[in-house]
């Protein structure tokens, strides 16, 4: 991400290196009150974001995922909150009615991570929830449950034993209407790390481990 005397909203813990003159402040900083008022409307995620300001470049990373920059032009994009790494304040961030997702509205650039390359699809379609990254310019999805599968042999075994959990063959998100659906090329979601927290690893300053101690 390149800053030229500009500002970006950045999710904590996603910047791994930068050069130039860049300053990072929490979005509760007084001088950013007007910026936050116009571009950040997600109180549930307020503690997970900072404002990067200045001139230089930032290198972003997330769980060894693919990281890409995208453009949104006078549109709205709803994306998994843990996958949105940064965005320009020319757009407004709002909480989605779908838990675990946020919505960007307006025009600008944003950076997102995905577990594998992003595949762009058009409704109508049904999607494995684990493969869903987000959707743009289309209504929020509804839940679809394949009752024939759930009441079949495999569904019966799972209900009795609890083995296996719910798969994409049993439960999907259903999209209708116009727009674009973003999928990641993997249905396995790696665990998200809490933003801004120091890893509990030996040798990490502020972490729970101690230098020279063996991992348990």
Q: What are phi and psi of 193, to 5 degrees?
A: -85, 145
216: pLDDT confidence band, cut at 50, 70 and 90?
Answer: very low
Tell me the per-residue pLDDT of 56-114, one tens digit each, with 9 for 90 and over.
Answer: 999 999 988 999 999 999 999 999 999 999 999 999 998 888 888 999 999 999 999 99
Identify the weakest region by mean pLDDT among 68-77, 134-143, 149-158, 168-177: 149-158
Q: Check the CA dihedral 93-95-96-98 and report its sign.
A: positive
Confidence of residue 151 (pLDDT cuts 50, 70, 90): low
Give CA 67 to chain center in angstroms. Answer: 11
Do the strands 49-60 and 66-80 form a parallel or antiparallel pair, or are they unpaired? unpaired
Average pLDDT in the 172-179 region? 88
**For position 118, what pLDDT does the model report?**
92
Could you give the residue range(s) of every CATH 3.60.160.10 domain in the chain?
2-114
Q: How much of the chain, in percent, has pLDDT values that exceed 90?
A: 41
- Which residues sit opposite 134 in a β-bridge? 79, 182
Q: How far is CA 29 from CA 42, 46, 140, 173, 201, in A?
A: 16, 12, 33, 38, 30
With tokens 């790696």, the residue in question is: 190
Average pLDDT across the chain, whole number: 79
Q: How far is 170 from 13, CA to CA, in rounded Å?
A: 35
Higher pLDDT, 212 or 187: 187
2-114 belongs to which CATH class? alpha beta
């Amino acid at each position: 991400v390149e800053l030229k005397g500009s500002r970006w909203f950045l999710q904590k813990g996603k910047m791994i290196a930068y050069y130039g003159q860049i300053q990072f402040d929490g979005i509760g900083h007084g001088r950013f009150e007007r910026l936050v008022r116009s571009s950040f409307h997600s109180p549930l995620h307020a503690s997970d974001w900072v404002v990067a300001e200045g001139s230089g470049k930032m290198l972003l990373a997330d769980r060894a995922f693919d990281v890409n920059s995208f453009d949104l032009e006078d549109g709205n994009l709803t994306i998994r909150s843990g996958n949105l790494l940064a965005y320009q304040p020319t757009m407004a961030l709002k909480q989605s009615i779908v838990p675990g997702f946020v919505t960007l509205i307006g025009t600008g650039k944003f950076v997102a991570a995905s577990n594998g390359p992003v595949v762009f699809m058009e409704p109508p379609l049904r999607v494995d929830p684990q493969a869903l990254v987000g959707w743009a310019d289309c209504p929020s999805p509804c839940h679809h449950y394949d009752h024939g599968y759930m009441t079949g042999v495999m569904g019966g075994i799972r209900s009795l034993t609890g083995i296996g959990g719910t798969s994409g063959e049993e439960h999907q998100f259903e999209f209708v209407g116009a727009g674009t659906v973003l999928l990641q090329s993997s249905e396995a979601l790696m665990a998200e790390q809490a933003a801004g927290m120091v890893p509990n690893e030996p040798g990490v300053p502020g972490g729970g481990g101690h230098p020279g101690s063996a991992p348990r």
